[in-house]
A and B are shown apart, each in its own frame.
Chain A
Amino acid sequence: AQKITQTQPGMFVQEKEAVTLDCTYDTSDPSYGLFWYKQPSSGEMIFLIYQGSYDQQNATEGRYSLNFQKARKSANLVISASQLGDSAMYFCAMSLPSGYSTLTFGKGTMLLVSP
């Protein structure tokens, strides 16, 4: 069975600084996908970034980048130049091959950005 671990219940960062949110995973399947989602207090789950297990390069999407270290089974999210609007819960998730995607989520990290 697959498992996602997020060890940071909460993180604080000042505006304009970079922050790294940790995520480790466990699966015996060689083929998997890793996702990060942002959930503001409004409830919507917003897709941020995706990394496939066979991707050679780390994924980047604007201010978001995924530091993928396959041997260590880690997929940390790096947010550069934090903004006040980045304050939210962040979930790391994993999917395995199937006819459709079902996500296993970590417990989440609450990020607070201060002025």
Chain B
Amino acid sequence: DTEVTQTPKHLVMGMTNKKSLKCEQHMGHRAMYWYKQKAKKPPELMFVYSYEKLSINESVPSRFSPECPNSSLLNLHLHALQPEDSALYLCASSQPGTSLGDTIYFGEGSWLTVV
């Protein structure tokens, strides 16, 4: 069983809605990530938080707003999304450091459909 928990598993939202995706990990990891994955494509990095500070924003539109309330939690706030934002959103965590063996562990993903 994965130690990175994502909720909800499935989300359908209208283009004017505001919703949030939530992610929680209890592995003591201090780096957390959001990836977006379209059908039949590899995941694409969106955001990286390291020690609760935003370290990477891969030019993601402002309708996606990440938040890291503490070292175990990561949220992705969604507002005014477009149908093309429909995708699988994967949360992940790792223990940052200089070792290349800092494996990234993923959650089960949240399937988002924008109607």
A positions within 8 Å CB-CB of B: 31-33, 35, 37, 42-47, 50, 52-53, 91, 95-97, 99-103, 105-108
Contact = CB atoms under 8 A, between A and B. Distances in A.
Closest 10 CB pairs of A and B: A33-B100, A105-B42, A45-B106, A43-B109, A100-B31, A100-B96, A44-B108, A101-B102, A100-B50, A101-B94
A52 B88 contact: no
Contacts of A99: 31, 50, 55, 96-98
Contacts of B109: 43-45
Contacts of A53: 100
Given A42-B108, A99-B50, A33 B101 contact: yes
A32 B2 CA distance: 25
A97 B98 contact: yes
A43 B39 CA distance: 10
Contact of A45 (B48, B90, B111): B90
Contacts of A103: 43, 45, 104
B103 A100 contact: no
Interface string B69-97: 00000000000000000001010101011
A44 B2 contact: yes
B107 interface: yes
Contacts of A45: 43, 90, 92, 106, 109
B105 interface: yes
